[in-house]
Structure 1
Amino acid sequence: MDWLQIVVLALVQGVSEFLPVSSSAHLILVPVLTEWQDQGLAFDVALHLGSLMAVVIYFRRELWQMMTSCMAAVKGQRVDHDARLAGWVVIATLPVCIVGFLLRDVVADYMRSPLIIGVSLIVFGLWLGYADWRKRGTRSEYQLTLNDALLIGGAQALALIPGTSRSGVTMTAALMLGMSREGAARFSFLLSIPVIVLAGGLEALELIGQPNPVDAWAMVAGALLSGVSAYACIHFFLALIKRMGMQPFVLYRVLFGIWLLWFFHG
């Protein structure tokens, strides 16, 4: 891998992981459009690690409070809103784990075509636009219920379809359930932590026993660039979302999807 490929892939992963534009769509298409060789599983793990570190560092105070509240609840103390939020994150992660385990090979083998990616970008982008336009409410992530967590978790399972966007579809479901833009985004970002851990863990397991050499410098550089860009993306997205809403991302998704359909099937 040359440095241009490292930088491009790391920035694409870091920025698109948390924006509602589908990181999988962009990472699938980069080597197609550039004719670069596949970057390999080891580099993918490094990119995921960088994104994970970014979201953990950004939400470190919330995560610490959730952990301490859960420990207190286990000891028989009162279950507060932080402990409940931790429970909702776990519950909302279960559907994607189950569906991903059952359909992982199907998705990898049959659902990574530009046609599916383009249609998913458009359809789920329009759904996001509708939710942001008509269904936005005022509830925060601390006001979720069990039913909310299950519905958002079910929506998250749809993100296994390339082009859907995990962050986009979970924000859409949250907005439809009456959450505020900030609350929907924050809960989506918290949900990304166990998902990235599980996805990166599966990729790391596949690396065990592989004889291919690993470019350590490329992995370190990729992880750092992915982490820094992801942290900046989270920060600015949460700072600007109240004013700009989701519509710029909806427009980008629709135009990108139309271009893909024209480029590959026109």
Structure 2
Amino acid sequence: MNIAESVLLGFVQGLAEFLPVSSSGHLAIISYFIGQTEVPLLFDIMLHLATLAAVCIVFRRRIWELLCVVGRFIIRKPLESDRPDQKTIIALIAATAMTGIIGFILKDFVREISPFVISCCFVVTGILLFISGRFTPKQTVEAPNLVRGLIIGTVQGIGVIPGISRSGSTISASLFTGLDRRVAGEFSFLLSIPAILAAFILELKDADTLTGSVSAISLIAGMLTAFIVGLLSLKFLITLINKGKLGYFAFYLVPVGISLAIYFAVK
């Protein structure tokens, strides 16, 4: 893999990681067309780590607030105002556990998934975003709870399938459970932190594979590109979420997914 290919994959990762269009699906399709059908899995995870850094920067204050709540709980000096954040933390833990279970169940399927199936998953994501964009709950809540966390975590687990957007599916699930739009977006991105870290730890065993096929400069170029583009796309998506415009992405995903599905079906 040369520098140009690494930068291209980094750009796609940074753009698609937060925009609800499935970064893994786009990486797989782009890799197929540029001839990189055997992109090292750890290289993919390293790009995810770059975009994770963007999440930590954008939500650094919120992350610090939650860490302070955990700290006060550990030393047994919680505040009354900590209750909503305590629910959020419990929901994050429950969601992460469900993601791990579902991801483990689907891991073999994900490894063998074809470009045709990925294309069909783009269409599924587009339809989901279109429906959630038009969904308006009668009453919204400002904090997730255990049940919502389990539901959203299950959906995030399904989101390991390339073509199914992790951010799009978790934000949509959050909206369907009654979360406020701002909270839904925030929860989705906070939930990506343990998911990406866990994936990184599990794939450390592939470090030798990465070293043998991707040079250090190509890796750095890809990660830097993913970080910069990810930071910009994250801020852009937050604005769209607050305005209830997620459904717009359906007008990209559905025609692209159908076109690709036809291409791979007749190829």
User: How do 1:146-157 and structure 2 match up within 5 A?
Assistant: 146-157=146-157
Where in structure 2 are the equivalents of 1:29-178 lying within 5 Å? 29-36=29-36, 38-78=38-78, 79-109=82-112, 112-136=113-137, 139=140, 142-178=142-178
8 A contact 2:6–2:222 mirrored in 1 = yes
CA deviations over 1:68-94 (Å, ceiling 9, x no partner): 111101222234323332221111111
The 2-side partners of 1:256 and 1:165 are apart by 14
Residue type at the aligned position of 1:133: R
Provide the rounded CA distance (Å) in 1 between the counterparts of 2:127 and 2:68.
39
Cα RMSD for the two superposed structures: 2.1
Deviation by residue 1:179-221 (Cα, 9 ceiling, x = unmatched): 2332222111111111111112222222258872651111222
TM-score (norm 2): 0.90
Q: What SS is found at the alignment partner of 2:162?
A: coil
Distance 1:106 1:36 in 2: 20
Rounded to whole Å, the distance in 1 between the matches of 2:101 and 2:221 is: 33
Distance 1:206 1:80, change over 3 A: same
**CA contact under 8 A between 2:42 and 2:200: conserved in structure 1?**
no
Count of residue pairs the alignment pairs up? 263
The ranges of structure 1 where at least 4 consecutive aligned residues each deviate by more than 6 angstroms after the TM superposition are none
164-173 or 98-107, which deviates more: 98-107
Q: Could you say if the C-alpha distance between residues 138 and 194 of structure 1 is closer, same or farther in structure 2, counting changes exceeding 3 Å?
A: farther
Decide whether the 8 Å contact of 1:11 with 1:226 is kept in 2. yes
Contact 1:21–1:121 (CA under 8 A) maintained in structure 2: yes
Q: Write the distance in 1 (CA, Å) between the matches of 2:3 and 2:69.
A: 44
Identity %: 34
TM normalised by structure 1 equals 0.90
Distance 1:4 1:84 in 2: 45
| Contact 1:121–1:164 (Cα < 8 Å) also in 2 | yes
* Alpha carbons of structure 1 residues 80 and 169: separation in structure 2 relative to 1, 3 Å: same
CA distance in 1, matches of 2:62, 2:257: 36
Gaps of 5+ in 1: none
Q: Report deviation, 1:176.
A: 0.8
The answer as to whether partners of 1:43 and 1:219 remain within 8 angstroms in 2 is yes
